[in-house]
A and B are shown apart, each in its own frame.
Chain A
Amino acid sequence: MASHSDNVVGQSFRQAMAWLHTWFGLVLGFVLMAAFFFGALSVFDREFDRWAIPSTRFEPQPMPSYERILRPAFERMQPTRQAVDAMRPRVEGEMPARFDTVGSWSAYTTHRDPVLALFAGYQVPNAKDPDELIWADATIDPRDGTPLPDDSLKVGSGFFYPMHYSLTLDWKNLGIWIVGLSALVMLAALVSGVVMHRKLFREIFTFRPGKGGLRSVLDLHNLTGVVALPFHFFFAFTGLLIFSAAYFFPVGHTQLHDLHDLHAEVEARELGLPHKRAGVPAGLADVDAMVADAQRRWEARGMAGDVGFLVLQHVGDANGYVSVYRAGTDRIALVGQGIHYKASSGELIREDPVATPVGKVAEFLTGLHLQHFRHWLLRWLYVLGGLLGAVCIATGFVFFVEKRKRQHAKQGSQGARIVDALAVTTVTGMVLAALGILVANRLLPLDLPARGDWERYAFWAVWALALVHAGLRSAPVARGLSNPAWREQCWAIVALALAAVALNWISTGDHLLRTIGAGYWPVAGVDLALLATAAVAGATATALRRRATAARNAPVATRRGETAHA
């Protein structure tokens, strides 16, 4: 029989789950903090974009005319030098100076977008995989087609959002894999947490801040974990699912490549939507008329709506077709009810039928996570969910440290100190980094070349500084005391948040009275959130200082001992 005296994780199922929850929760918790916090910010990604790029502070716009606005904009687009260099290893031979054979042109907009995102995919001559396209993207003002400068960093959708699903670590998609692993561990932590915390429903409202110490921290950890358990579970699960076919388990592109291609050919034939170019040039009919027709058809089906996604496939070829998709503003699905027209003649090829049951589930699960719907209450509830998740993870760190720091102090171990310093870095430090990029965004000169890169450097620099500060100030933890860095970084948050609001006012003139008065909520909302952040951080710093003073003044005999973990 196997010996268990060397079984680190414990003898029983419950013990094993407790070990898993503690150690994997700790290590991957640092990544999960970023995923939850930047995920919460990403709910309002486009609003952060408005704040960061003042020239885009106008009302959301519908999809503009193809002929007047989109076509000239598409024709101007070409892949960047970086994209060309990234493609080079997958090409045998020379790469052209200009890419002219268009695989597809597309434009995507939601009810929150003043500016319009354009995408262009070009065929690559001599590519090892002839189906692979090289991509270019651009952002334009849909009212007149003016392009947004390339290095205007969209702090929300272009930074906070990729930060949350990939930590912006793009080398070989390493960041996506790390966040993916942390999402799996999140699911494991939720299940193991339920196994450990048997009295799930009986203690669902239990929060005893008065008790102090470990009990209060654990109560808050349990409360924030249980109360939003469906949210935490579904977001981790759908996050994994959304990236599964493209990154984690790309069976269709690898092992089952043949099945995938077979399906594509069959589908193209059945639907009348050609998979490949014919190689015969052809003109383009009136796209605006096609769009208008699509909108009439949706109305006829009782679902009048806006155009969310417009795609021109195989541009300039006889097999070309135009697809018009309805924006899912009033439901969870992102876009739907696609209607497809033959590009050269404008005649209807097909109206997408209602999705299959599995298709409907896929739309629901994807849309639930990516949120392109119009529902301000639900958005704010999502932010609440994200913040509850962040508090759950943060209290997990605090519990880990508080439970062990006195013991580690006696043993002369640095373990609790290191974890505490890392916890400060990923809780207050992360908030500081986010504030740092907003402040840098307002301070950097508008005509600075690669301005977006400098904004990113500011983010990482502030975070690195927070790490150094947290580390240097953490010596007391090794003696069983608290790290003053917590309240010091809280004060720094107050300062930076107020600075960001002030800088917005100074650099754009859009102070709160003006933005609220005009009802321009994207910017007013960010400023108000910054002020609320300052208030919470200030209150926290004050409470922490009060507790530190009380602890210093309390006689040794009355200081509470550790409460054992139930």
Chain B
Amino acid sequence: MSRASAVSVFPVRAPFLAPRLRLAARVGAAIVGGYAFSWGFIAAGAALLFKAGMDFHDAEFLSSALGLIAFLVVFLWTFAARRVWLAWVLLAGGGALLAAVASLVQASIV
């Protein structure tokens, strides 16, 4: 979204408002988006490892360990990302996708 259109969408104080809103969106992506992504990662990982034969608590633990590292990575990446909206889409969308995989795997076992 270019600067010009940002000015036309928001009221007069746009030059002050837009950067802060964008920053808030970025922080939100890092924390909330990152959390959603990590949840999906951990759920999918645990379900897949369990399906592959690992003990459930081992699967949950290993998945959590990798998931926390994943959270750190995406958290850092979100601050370096050029487009905040893309970060949101990838993290929230990716998280939802991974969570769906987890539920599908669970349905295939139980």
Contacts and interface: CB of A to CB of B under 8 A. Distances in A.
Interface of A: 2-9, 13, 16-17, 19-20, 181, 184, 187-188, 191-192, 237, 240-241, 244-245, 249, 251-252, 255-256, 258-260, 262-263, 267, 356, 358-359, 361-362, 365
A245 B64 contact: yes
A241 B65 contact: yes
B67 interface: yes
Contacts of B59: 358
A260 B56 CA distance: 7
B75 interface: yes
Nearest to A258: B110
A260 B46 CA distance: 10
Residue from B2, B15, B59 whose CB has the most chain A CB atoms within 10 Å? B59
Interface residues of B, number: 47
Contacts of A245: 60-61, 64
Residue from B76, B82, B99, B109 whose CB has the most chain A CB atoms within 10 Å? B76
A239 B40 CA distance: 21
B79 A9 contact: yes
Contacts of B6: 6
Interface string B47-75: 10010001111111111110110011001
A359 B62 CA distance: 9
Contacts of B109: 259, 262
A251 B39 contact: yes
B63 to A, nearest CB: 8
A316 B64 CA distance: 37
A67 B29 CA distance: 57
Contact of A249 (B20, B42, B103): B42
A362 B61 contact: yes
A53 to B, nearest CB: 35
A192 B76 contact: yes
A335 to B, nearest CB: 15
B79 A17 contact: yes
Given A251-B42, A260-B56, 6 more contacts: A6-B3, A9-B23, A249-B67, A251-B46, A259-B46, A263-B50
Residue from A17, A19, A187, A237 whose CB has the most chain B CB atoms within 10 Å? A187
B58 A8 contact: no
Contacts of B97: none
Contacts of B2: 2-3
Interface of B: 1-3, 6, 15, 18-20, 22-23, 26, 31, 38-39, 42-43, 46-47, 50, 54-65, 67-68, 71-72, 75-76, 79-80, 82-83, 99, 102-103, 106, 109-110
Contacts of B26: 9
Contact of A5 (B3, B76, B103): B3
Given A19-B79, A249-B64, A359-B58, A255 B99 contact: yes
Contact of A256 (B64, B75, B102): B102
B60 to A, nearest CB: 5
A8 B110 contact: no
Residue from A2, A262, A361 whose CB has the most chain B CB atoms within 10 Å? A2
B80 A252 contact: no
A169 to B, nearest CB: 19
Contact of B22 (A8, A19, A359): A8
Interface residue SS majority, chain A: helix
A193 to B, nearest CB: 12
Interface residue SS majority, chain B: helix
Nearest to A244: B64
A5 B15 CA distance: 10
B15 to A, nearest CB: 8
Contact of A2 (B1, B38, B57, B79): B1
A263 B64 contact: no
B103 A356 contact: no
B107 to A, nearest CB: 9
Contacts of B58: 356, 358-359, 362
A8 B23 contact: yes
Given A9-B26, A262-B110, A362-B58, A255 B72 contact: no
A6 B6 CA distance: 11
Given A259-B109, A263-B56, A16 B64 contact: no
Nearest to B59: A358
B23 to A, nearest CB: 5
What 4 A-B pairs have minimum CB-CB distances, sorted nearest first?
A263-B56, A6-B19, A358-B58, A244-B64
B43 A256 contact: yes
A20 B22 CA distance: 15
Nearest to B34: A184
A250 to B, nearest CB: 9
A365 B71 CA distance: 18
A249 B79 contact: no
A356 B55 contact: yes
B60 A252 contact: yes
B8 to A, nearest CB: 14
B76 A184 contact: no
A324 B64 CA distance: 28
B31 A181 contact: yes
Given A2-B82, A356-B55, A358-B54, A240 B68 contact: yes
A188 B31 CA distance: 12
Nearest to B18: A6
Contacts of A188: 72, 75-76
Contacts of A184: 68, 71-72, 75
Contacts of B71: 184
17 contacts: A2-B1, A2-B82, A6-B3, A6-B18, A6-B22, A9-B79, A184-B68, A191-B72, A245-B64, A249-B39, A251-B63, A255-B103, A256-B106, A259-B109, A356-B55, A358-B62, A361-B62
Residue from A3, A251, A258 whose CB has the most chain B CB atoms within 10 Å? A251
Residue from B23, B26, B57 whose CB has the most chain A CB atoms within 10 Å? B57
Contact of B61 (A256, A260, A358): A358
A356 B58 CA distance: 8
B94 to A, nearest CB: 15
B79 to A, nearest CB: 5
